[in-house]
Structure 1
């Protein structure tokens, strides 16, 4: 969608009924949500989260200011008003990460209001985001990551062979190509070549951005094994992975598969489907993979997002150093 078309769509969008905001603010918020969804190409879940966070801020301000929030009131906000919101949310037990996201949503709304000439909320720029404790992703060991995608690990389960093959193929894609679970389950049948017919898959990531990702022959074989066993017709334009009744496969099914594998392999609770993506990136980096290349493979918009894996690699190197250096 072009910028002009997105703007026209936003202006034509219906109002959102917010009991704690004036109609002008409700209408502006509706247009802003269309803007970030259409023009900024944010995912529906992100748009929903931003909308929820902005509503929470406006609801607080209604009570704090003693009346429905108007555009003029937004333009007159002080840093004390915003700090009061942060203190109230902290009192409700909200984490620093959730509070930071709420401020990010409100800042996005404020930038849009300023661009449209509706209000200038200067106080937001003066409020510091809460400090967030950095937590590193917890990748699996190489051997464990390989075993997770081994269909033989679940041979004793009372499940149909095609279901076991399907789950193994999904997990193999998560670790073998570093896909998000939504990306793997969003694949169409035509997106994955047969063994020997190609070595890349085209995935649709966040913001509907498409990218090509290399895929190992063993992973393609796992997908081919599943396709040959699947009792349902898998048309080229239909979903590659289907559930027990032939519909699109739910992410929850794969999450449950990982829960069972954690027990069978004595893995920690951090061993989730997304941990396989972390493992993909970490293991590539440990083997000398280029950070920029890994950024492209993961579909990260910013290199700073990918750089978190350098922390994991450095941490493991220090563990080896402390354990093996002769003068320890």
Structure 2
């Protein structure tokens, strides 16, 4: 969730997965945020039946559920995670999201290695629960320590898992994908998208002018 910081959990709980496996289990989760721009709660709600993952080429997800973490007193079930429809959508309205071949391969490997929960969810704790913000932030912190230089580690670079979604949307805009298409895939309104990511498309005037010149000359 935007603005939610990785926070230390009170006390020590039993790990959702054995320490050596939890990072591998969440590899596909983090890949979903970066390659397809999902919100973490949407990735946690992802089910096998929502995925079309062909052996070659692009695939497709049809997102239908979200698993946001909140105070137990505010959930219908009394659990730490609610079960909701998608943000900015009617309760039964899905959102199609294209899946690049690289991500298709990652998700196919994930399903082969870890299987799925009885309800089809790809990402879950060893007891079948929804992975907490604290658990996946802990893994992300360890991944940053492993992958980044000491200088980068103390910088804001990829400080939160949610930053992977920001990176995805920024990349799409910078490569020239039309704003309405980016908004549809990311689950934003176009007005919100352009306001939040305005800096990503600043400085594109010369590129736009060249495209107009090319079109007029054709």
Q: TM-score range by the shorter chain?
A: 0.5 to 0.7
Task: Find the residue that maps to 2:52 and give its secondary structure.
Answer: coil
Task: Find the residue that maps to 1:246 and give its secondary structure.
Answer: coil
CA–CA separation in structure 1 for the residues paired with 2:29 and 2:23: 10
Q: Is the 8 A contact 1:185 1:251 kept in 2?
A: no
- Structure 1: segments with no counterpart, 5+ residues: 1-44, 46-136, 138-157, 318-328
1:263 and 2:145 matched: yes
How much does 1:316 deviate?
A: 9.5
How much does 1:263 deviate?
A: 2.4
Q: 1:316 to 1:166 in 2, by over 3 A?
A: farther
Which of 214, 225, 238 matches 2:109?
225
Structure-2 residue corresponding to 1:234: 117
How much does 1:191 deviate?
A: 1.1
Task: Find the residue that maps to 1:212 and give its secondary structure.
Answer: strand
How much does 1:250 deviate?
A: 2.4
Structure-2 residue corresponding to 1:202: 62
Q: Is the 8 A contact 1:182 1:251 kept in 2?
A: no
Which of 173, 185, 188 matches 1:285?
173
Structure-1 residue corresponding to 2:41: 182
Which has the higher relative contact order, 1 or 2, with Cα contacts under 8 A spaced 6 or more apart? 2
Structure-2 residue corresponding to 1:216: 100
CA–CA separation in structure 1 for the residues paired with 2:204 and 2:27: 28
Structure-2 residue corresponding to 1:312: 200
With the length of structure 2 as denominator, give the TM-score of the two structures. 0.63
CA–CA separation in structure 2 for the residues paired with 1:233 and 1:281: 28
* Pairs within 5 Å for 1:45-124: none
Q: 1:191 to 1:211 in 2, by over 3 A?
A: same
Q: 1:203 to 1:251 in 2, by over 3 A?
A: farther
CA–CA separation in structure 1 for the residues paired with 2:130 and 2:49: 15
How much does 1:172 deviate?
A: 0.7
Equivalent residues, number: 159
Task: Find the residue that maps to 1:160 and give its secondary structure.
Answer: helix
CA–CA separation in structure 2 for the residues paired with 1:282 and 1:309: 7
Q: Is the 8 A contact 2:124 2:131 kept in 1?
A: yes
Structure with higher helix content = 1
1:274 and 2:158 matched: no
Q: Is the 8 A contact 2:48 2:116 kept in 1?
A: no
